[in-house]
Amino acid sequence: MYVGFTSATGPIPTTSHYVMGWSFRINGIAEGLDISQLPKLPNEKSKFMTIGLPTISSVILLTAILAVFYYMKRIKKKYAEELEDWELEYGPHRFKYKDLYKATKGFRDKELLGTGGFGRVYRGLLPTSKIQVAVKRVSHESRQGMREFVAEIASLGRLRHRNLVPLLGYCRRKGQLLLVYEYMPNGSLDKFLYDQPNISLNWDQRFRVIKGVASGLLYLHEEWEQVVVHRDVKASNVLLDGELNGRLGDFGLARLHDHGSDPRTTHVLGTLGYLDPEHTRSGKATTSTDVYAFGAFLLEVGCGRRPIEPQAPTEDMVLVDWVFSHWTRGVILQAIDPKLGYDYVKEEVELVLKLGLLCSHAESVARPNMRQILLYLEGAAALPDISSLCISSAGLTFAHAEGFDNFNNSEGNRSSVAESLLSGGR
């Protein structure tokens, strides 16, 4: 390094200076600098790269693994299902709870289609197939009953008829049964009879629904490989497809037995107003049990009234008695649903109401079977003169036979009747 100074007269003489061990010469060369003799600083970067960074990375990775494991465990618990060896044979009809949960958006109230005493029904869209379904959540506490129920549900999944709502399958989880049905876009028939005063079905549509339900019941009773007793035939369980065809649904109470064998005794289940009086006494649900309920259904569709009207006067509270009183006075057509106006076929309405009375007879031997009923409805056979069948009000309905008149107008008493008849239900 040169530090030189000049003047007009020539170079200034060189002088040596020493500062803190460094020697400088004015207008000379600095002594050489040996870098190796400089003091060395600690290598902090090297220690961080070799020790600190791997340690931090390991901690982050372990934390991430634990977080994923915890999340997966929660998800698994959320969608946990019970599956036993005996259920494997029903595998094709079993849905994963996870898929049904996603299909119904977590069973949100927004997807709720309806609520009843036996469960809540949700609309769903299956995530893989994109098929619309109706998912019904049913509680079932008995382990043995659960096993029996699942076996029957799997069998019912094989039912195929144009007037039955297809049961696509089931799911079982933590004491719950989820029944998966094909979605019916127009909902239940009772919605058109009661809940929408400005929207109603005309007589042709109602009569087609009646014949469709009769055809479905005939298939269940006689045409399938086993006898199926539905046990809950009513307007709210008749669903309408896109063309307003009637389809009998909700097989949650259905029971099967082989043709020619006796049905077993069960709890009395069903809905007040549709219950066969013989069933309430014996506990045995037979095909005649469904015929009785179908009789109440016929009157319900024809009259636009529920089988039991708690707010009506005592003499008009039971629909079958009310229709019977019109028949005895020779004015049975006055019982027709006023929403129909005069747009109906007189002979068909009269047939439906009289057939409803015949099916509602308290003695099962006096009721026709579903094959005969369908023949009457299709005009292939003439309805017998019911006046010659010794039908009386006491013989028509359980109301008198069970002492219903003694309950007067007390709401509490009416509730106790319903509770006693429906005890043991789902």
Residues placed in the known binding site = 136
Going by the annotation, the residues of the binding site for ATP are 136
Instruction: Tell me if residue 258 is catalytic.
Output: no
Q: Hey, CA dihedral for 47, 52, 57, 62, is it positive or negative? A: positive
With a CB cutoff of 8 Å and minimum separation 6, the contacts of 24 are: 1, 3, 16, 17, 18, 30
Rounded to whole angstroms, the Cα distance separating 123 from 105 reads 9
Rounded to whole angstroms, the Cα distance separating 177 from 251 reads 13
Question: What SS3 string covers 52-81?
Answer: HHHHHHHHHHHHHHHHHHHHHHHHHHHCCC
Strand partners, 182: 133
Catalytic residue among 232, 276, 290, 321: 232
Rounded to whole angstroms, the Cα distance separating 354 from 182 reads 34
Give the H/E segment covering residue 101: helix 97-103
Three-class SS state of 298: helix
Rounded to whole angstroms, the Cα distance separating 158 from 169 reads 10
Strand partners, 139: 176
Q: Which of 275, 204, 266 is nearest to 233 (CA)?
A: 275
Rounded to whole angstroms, the Cα distance separating 399 from 377 reads 27
Rounded to whole angstroms, the Cα distance separating 311 from 168 reads 39
- Say if residue 339 is exposed, middle or buried (CB neighbours under 10 Å; 0-12, 13-18, 19+): middle
Rounded to whole angstroms, the Cα distance separating 185 from 172 reads 26
Catalytic sites, residue numbers: 232
